């Protein structure tokens, strides 16, 4: 008898090169996850002292703190950006991701929802939002979001996988297996494509 252990995966946080969803803006929002040196962080801090309103510098500094897992410092910079520009997708995206990474699901939901108000078609963010709801035991909401995501973007691999996991946990085995089959077929097709 084989027993499979199934875990949820993030839709935006697992790929160190950036999001696979074309709607996220690629690496401009996703962290590179290469540890920043203290020297580069100090250099960015110095640059910010001379131009405290420079959003690009502040975003780079916040990203450096985020990659170094200095979450409070990263949050303070992203919040500063968000307070000055409520529509800054990079700040919203990364605030959601930091709270997601630190398992503060309620806070992650706030920022993911704000992001989706501005970019309603972002499959990766909606998938992570669904995972936050699942972590909070709000299964019906999570399943609904994933089904909506799949309806909008049937090729969103991680949504199929996470929906399979959630359906299995709620006892909907046949539906779970159907989603897992879709995931496996799509995954195999992606692995065969030349890179």
- For residue range 125-178, list pLDDT tens digits in order: 999 999 999 999 999 999 999 999 999 999 999 999 999 999 999 999 999 999
Question: Quick check: is 17 in a domain?
Answer: no
Measure Cα distances from 161 to 33, 121, 125 in Å.
Answer: 24, 19, 15
- The number of folded domains in the chain is 2
DSSP state of 20: S
The confidence score (pLDDT) of residue 29 equals 53
Question: Quick check: is 11 in a domain?
Answer: no
In the chain, which stretches have pLDDT less than 50? 1-7, 13-28, 30-34
The residue among 57, 12, 43 whose CA lies nearest residue 30 is 12
CATH number of the domain encompassing residue 109: 1.25.40.10
Same domain, yes or no, for 47 and 107? Answer: yes
The confidence score (pLDDT) of residue 66 equals 94
Q: Which helix (H) or strand (E) holds 71?
A: helix 71-84
Q: What pTM did the predictor assign?
A: 0.79
Same domain, yes or no, for 131 and 110? Answer: no
Q: Which domain holds residue 165?
A: 121-185
Question: Quick check: is 7 in a domain?
Answer: no
Tokens representing residue 84 in the block = 């000055």
The confidence score (pLDDT) of residue 195 equals 53
How buried is residue 81: exposed, middle or buried, by Cβ count under 10 Å (0-12/13-18/19+)? buried
Question: Quick check: is 15 in a domain?
Answer: no
Question: Quick check: is 66 in a domain?
Answer: yes
Question: Quick check: is 63 in a domain?
Answer: yes
The confidence score (pLDDT) of residue 123 equals 95
Tokens representing residue 45 in the block = 């801090």
The confidence score (pLDDT) of residue 190 equals 79
As a whole number of angstroms, the distance between CA 21 and CA 54 comes to 27
């Amino acid at each position: 008898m084989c027993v499979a252990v199934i875990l949820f995966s993030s839709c935006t946080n697992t790929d160190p090169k950036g999001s696979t969803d074309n709607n996220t803006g690629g690496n401009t929002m996703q962290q590179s996850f290469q540890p920043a040196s203290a020297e580069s962080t100090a250099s960015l801090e110095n640059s910010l002292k001379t131009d405290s309103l420079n959003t690009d510098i502040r975003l780079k500094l916040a990203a450096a703190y985020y990659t170094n897992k200095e979450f409070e410092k990263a949050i303070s910079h992203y919040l500063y950006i968000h307070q000055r520009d409520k529509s800054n997708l990079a700040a919203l995206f990364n605030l959601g991701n930091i709270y997601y990474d630190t398992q503060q699901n309620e806070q992650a939901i706030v920022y993911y929802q704000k992001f989706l108000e501005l970019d309603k078609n972002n499959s990766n963010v909606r998938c992570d939002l669904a995972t936050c709801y699942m972590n909070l035991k709000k299964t019906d909401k999570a399943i609904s979001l994933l089904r909506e995501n799949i309806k909008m973007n049937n090729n969103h691999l991680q949504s199929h996988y996470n929906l399979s996991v959630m359906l299995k946990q709620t006892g909907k085995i046949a539906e779970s297996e159907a989603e897992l089959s879709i995931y496996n077929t799509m995954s195999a097709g992606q692995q065969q494509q030349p890179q």
